[in-house]
Structure 1
Amino acid sequence: MHEHHTASATWSAAAQATLHCLTGCAIGEVLGMVIGTAFALHNAATVVISIVLAFAFGYALTMRGVLRAGLDVRSALKVALAADTVSIAVMEILDNLVIVAVPGAMDSGLGDLLFWGSLAASLVIAFLFTTPVNRFMISRGKGHAVVHQYHH
């Protein structure tokens, strides 16, 4: 059984899975950081909003694809949870640690290069470190591998 999945566990497949995850995470992360910064929320509240939105958008993007493949909403949610939870969690831990670690990034405004630069750098770092995690998961028939049967 593992041999079937190992063949598709290429770096390219892992990068594509991570890019898919990054899209949803980035939408949620950027939106959360913009909301938190625009409303001058406490840094912790901004991070929580960003994480919640990253998971919501990440799951929604996967669900959109599997719903198109004919799954019902409950089944699509199960596929999204199985496919994306670990990847999004790793990505969110990494990108939020980077943003919090960059001096002044959380306190910079929407017009500051520090805000956008640290946010972009955090997403690149998250992508680079999450890709091997996704490759490992795919090689074991987990993570994004559960979505492959629904791709057209």
Structure 2
Amino acid sequence: MTDRPAHQHHGHETTDEQQSRRELTRSAISATSHCLTGCAIGEVLGMIIGTALGWGNLATIVLAIALAFLFGYSLTIVPVLRAGVGLGAAIGVAFAADTLSITVMEIVDNLFMVLIPGAMDAGLTSWLFWLSLAASLAIAFVLTVPVNRALIGRGKGHAVVHQYHH
């Protein structure tokens, strides 16, 4: 017989620790899905506008990034405002919750689009354009989940927003 509690096993996680890790991962996936929604709206809209207007890659990417941040922050600000927080504080919450996540997502998805030969120049009617854009967002999602997981685990990122959810 040992002095160890029944739930401890020779260096293995307890059931509570495993549950806590799963909940943290679920929270990170949820936060990243939220980020992806705003980023995708802005990214797709920016790519469509820039491509339709015949802009160069740099101008199109700058517009897509600006719109991704705008929509990403907006998706956080609106619910926080509904919770009764003032505009200045809501903007602060959105910046704290989303900046790193959106930044990582934007770096990854735009880099991917630039690295796929012809994707940026393919045009709105091309499967290459749309497939590359969808793949870039999927890869950005996968690479951003660990970032959000680390932030939430430290009480930062989307953990800041949770206090305003009812």
Confirm or deny a common fold (TM above 0.5).
Answer: yes
Structure 2 unaligned segments of length 5 or more: list them.
Answer: 1-19
Q: Using the alignment, how far apart are the partners of 1:9 and 1:47 within structure 2?
A: 35
TM-score, structure 2 normalization: 0.86
Number of the residue aligned with 1:61: 75
Q: Using the alignment, how far apart are the partners of 1:113 and 1:65 within structure 2?
A: 35
Number of the residue aligned with 2:9: none
Higher RCO (CA 8 Å, separation ≥ 6 residues): 1
- State yes or no: 1:27 paired with 2:27: no
Q: CA RMSD in A?
A: 1.2
* 1:109 Cα deviation from its structure 2 partner: 0.7
* 1:93 Cα deviation from its structure 2 partner: 0.2
* 1:7 Cα deviation from its structure 2 partner: 7.0
Q: Which runs of structure 2 are paired with 1:2-151 in the superposition (5 Å)?
A: 10-151=24-165
Q: Name the amino acid aligned to 2:140.
A: A
Secondary structure at 2:85's aligned position in 1? coil
Q: Using the alignment, how far apart are the partners of 1:8 and 1:62 within structure 2?
A: 24
Contact 1:26 1:123 in 2 (8 A): yes
Q: How many residues were matched structurally?
A: 147
Structure 1 unaligned segments of length 5 or more: list them.
Answer: 1-5
Q: Using the alignment, how far apart are the partners of 1:7 and 1:151 within structure 2?
A: 21
